[in-house]
Chain A
Amino acid sequence: MEKHLHCKDFVDTISSYVDGDLSEELCVELDKHLSECDNCRIVVNTLRKTIDIYQHQAENEKAPEDVKDRLFYRLNIEQFRK
């Protein structure tokens, strides 16, 4: 990669970057850009944090017990026996 990497190029790949879903070569380029560009570093950190907060919020979230009770009542699983 000869051309200088710009912030716009970074944003286009940022999602795959946080997923670790890029070639090693491209990753090295992006890492280099990040070490020189405060803005992109903030964007990538806050993006990671955004995903992280959403995951964390849902982690132990279960359907309430009364919802499950009504689900099984409604399904009446025995009737699906062939």
Chain B
Amino acid sequence: MINEESEPLNLKKVQSGDPEELTRMVQQYSDPIYRVALRMLNNQAEAEDVLQETFIKALRSLENFEGRSNLSTWLYRIAVNESLMVIRKRKPEVSIIHDDTGDEDNEGISVSQIVDWCCLPESEFLSNETRSVLNDAIQKLPENLRSVFILRDIEGLSIIETAQALELTETNVKTRLLRARMKLREELSVYFGERMSEY
């Protein structure tokens, strides 16, 4: 969710290192990049590191930016990659968890929770407890599903933009998105299903 109202950046000025334009770029994108990092890592200090590293890398390699994708897509890509590096450093003995099932089939999508919790009072969805349930659920996703869900559903990128940012095919994005969404739905259904019994 990039703020659409702000004046579009002048890419030429950005690439020539115009300080005012670079400042505007950082101002426009620091919120979304921080959000992405925070969702990927669930840790504020690490998210701050990723935020800084993302812009440092971006500023250093701006001249190599070829404009085949949007500037925002490019920044998201750097941020996701930086986040993955942090995750790798965190647990060097464990390789990055990938969803094992192939990208082509939808095997392993489970639909076991059938509780209609949509009718819960709105306050339920805004509570601090819910906030932490949401964070925990997203952290349980394998990284390759997490990044797709964050960019597509939380940041609101299109399927094509998500594919460009993560260097995936559109089909892969759709498959991963389906899996990510269904896993989160299951997790939230367990929690909200229990909450239902209180009403």
Classify chain B: how many residues form its interface, as a range: 35 or more
Main SS of the interface on chain A? helix
A67 at interface (Cβ–Cβ under 8 A)? Answer: yes
Minimum CB–CB distance from A16 to chain B (whole Å) comes to: 7
| A3 sits at the interface (CB 8 A) | no
Is A11 on the interface with B (CB-CB < 8 A)? yes
Give the residue of A70, A75, A82 whose beta carbon is less than 8 angstroms from that of B26. A75
Whether A71 and B106, one on each chain, are in contact in the complex, defined by CB atoms closer than 8 angstroms, is no
Query: Are B185 and A50 in contact (CB-based, < 8 A)?
Result: yes
Q: Does A81 contact B (CB under 8 A)?
A: yes
Provide the main secondary structure of the chain B interface. Answer: helix
Number of A-B contacts (CB under 8 A): 116
B97 interface hit (Cβ, 8 Å): no
Encoded as 1 (CB less than 8 Å from any B CB) or 0, chain A from 64 to 77 comes to 00011011101101
> Which residues of A come within 8 Å of B, CB atoms?
11-12, 14-16, 19, 21, 39, 42-43, 45-47, 49-51, 53-59, 61-63, 67-68, 70-72, 74-75, 77-78, 80-82
Q: 30 A-B pairs, CB-CB below 8 angstroms?
A: A11-B109, A12-B178, A42-B115, A42-B116, A45-B116, A46-B113, A46-B115, A46-B117, A50-B185, A51-B153, A53-B130, A53-B134, A55-B154, A56-B125, A58-B35, A61-B35, A63-B31, A63-B34, A70-B48, A70-B52, A71-B52, A71-B55, A72-B26, A74-B56, A75-B59, A77-B19, A77-B22, A77-B23, A80-B19, A80-B59
